[in-house]
Chains A and B, each alone.
Chain A
């Protein structure tokens, strides 16, 4: 009962957001939302044919793109697909500008010439209200409905405006289809039009598209659209592990395009290195604290706790100031004559900067668990070992050290978990060589806006952290975590 309010609060403010992010890493409805007709039409096309799709696909694409550029969603789709196939973004932008000026106005003119009714908005409205007509002219019905929605969205009255060219194009295609099949049509106006269309001057949409942008003739771009037309995609995850989806299934990217494998590897080995440094520096201090009087230990503990309580940004800025080429450390080294003015060390904006600053920041997280474990080791064991003839080193190695291993384990997992997710410190002192996977995630969220990839990278990182968390809980227990 008492837990319920907090549990709900944590679920809403924390667990749902994390799930939302995980969902985004596979979600992919942008293609089917923006190009619904094209996606359906592409189903009958196969990328193995090595040829561009036929006129039906281009006609569906024409309607979709016309609507998309009205809603200004085509550039967003273009940049989304560009993550998978470079160049596609500019194709969408370029064709989006051209699509309104396609030669399809010949259809509009010819229909209006045939019968002035076709220019009458209210005639259209009543015709499209007829269920039988809707069934016989499916493309037209879909285009007309989409056009009406667009008008309403733009604040225009669809009952007072003549439909756009793409609706007439759909009408032409539907009627041609009917007349080729020799279907019987009950509606007199539609029948007249059906009999007339075979004499109409026609326009190839495929040619129109290729005229606007040569690349639409290249099947590889269509393969990309088809590949990403599903509502869910493994594409982001593949990308996050340096693979890509191709028509032949998942493949490893060429060597020069691999990026994340190196970044993950660097995050892990630098975290391990930092962990090693904290063990090396933390162990003697914890040992000293555990083996002196409680009074002195409490005094010295303050020196460990002060950095722990000091703002992360304060410590990071201190290191930035100290490690600079014109900073305090270099000044001291020059003054003491160890290096000369020209030989000032570069200790920042590289891996060294990240390692030094993060070792400092995470050291208390190693010392505190080590200290609490070492406090429980009875000194009598070491004395017993010595009285049995062991020298100092053997007594330490065979008796004391094995008992302190749980502390090393607890501290190591803690330091490692914190280290692989670090963002702020590497961002400020890491330059380009000393950054972690977190920095790349942040970059994809705020700069490149590739949220799917950011989510996939985040999901992988989260999985690693949760496994370590589970290990920590198993071996140390989360309720045993102590603060200060």
Chain B
């Protein structure tokens, strides 16, 4: 499949190229919708398509006005501020609890390991609308509905499965003799954790944290129900914008978020490769 052999029949040749074209089209389908919003976001008009000026590369057809609106309109800046206030705290909670639990689960004799794992992963599996509904009812009862901490806790629990999965993956093949050696040399368990285990699983923790961060930063269903106007996040504002009157500012926001995701993706890839290198897995 890698190379077309010299003796290939015309049909094989045709199929070889046709297959590549099909794959190319699928890649185009995956990427094009994301890429196309970037030039559209510089539109000088309030249209959602390329204007004649834009196609002619006339500078008058382009402008930064939608970006300006994003950074000056209090609706958007307020939403950005809320997102920045919620996501990191939720991430810290998921990473803290999740890492501890992943280490606990990796020990050899854990009773009900499968059941515990199933419970901890369930927030990722249960449809968001159901989680959101349950949280809305229950948090109203205990007075967390519509509060900052309610949203933070809801987002933290949604991020936990990602932390558990990534940290557990780095712990697979972790050489236990290293911790035993450290203990043998007189280190207490806390020192052993921070000086031996932690540096080795750090890439997993960070990429789990990035997943948890993007989960919270991108989450809209739960915050719609659990939050109130005071916790209006960026995705919430986008959702309202898309559902009611769609404003081109959304394209500017979308472009900024695409750049953010490219950065996060690069970071996760680098971490993954680094982790594989230091653990000697390839």
Contact = CB atoms under 8 A, between A and B. Distances in A.
A288 B133 contact: no
Given A363-B30, A451-B137, A465 B126 contact: yes
Interface SS of chain A: helix, strand, loop or mixed? Answer: helix
Interface residue range, chain B: 35 or more
Contacts of B98: 6
B17 interface: no
A124 interface: no
B127 A313 contact: no
Interface string A126-154: 00000000000000000000000000000
Contacts of A14: 122-123, 131, 134-135, 157
B1 interface: yes
Given A284-B26, A313-B218, A423-B129, A478 B103 contact: no
Interface in A1-40: 1-3, 5-7, 9-11, 13-21, 24
Contacts of B162: 483
B47 interface: yes
A317 B254 contact: yes
Contact of B138 (A17, A328, A479): A17
B82 to A, nearest CB: 15
Nearest to A291: B1
Contact of A328 (B50, B118, B123, B139): B50
B258 A314 contact: yes
Interface in B252-282: 253-254, 257-258, 261-262, 264-265, 268-269, 272
A100 to B, nearest CB: 32
Interface of B: 1-2, 12, 15, 19-20, 22-23, 26-27, 29-31, 33-34, 36-37, 40, 47-50, 93, 97-98, 100-101, 103-105, 110, 116-123, 125-139, 141, 153-154, 156-157, 160, 162, 165-166, 168-169, 207, 211, 214, 217-218, 220-221, 224-225, 235, 238-239, 242-243, 246, 250-251, 253-254, 257-258, 261-262, 264-265, 268-269, 272
Given A321-B48, A446-B224, 9 more contacts: A9-B153, A303-B31, A304-B30, A309-B268, A313-B235, A315-B33, A461-B130, A465-B125, A479-B117
6 contacts: A9-B153, A13-B135, A14-B134, A288-B23, A314-B253, A392-B12
Interface of A: 1-3, 5-7, 9-11, 13-21, 24, 281-282, 284-285, 287-288, 291-293, 300, 302-307, 309-322, 324, 326-328, 331, 360, 363-364, 392, 417, 420-424, 427-428, 438, 441-442, 445-446, 451, 454-455, 458, 461-462, 465-466, 469, 473, 478-479, 481-484
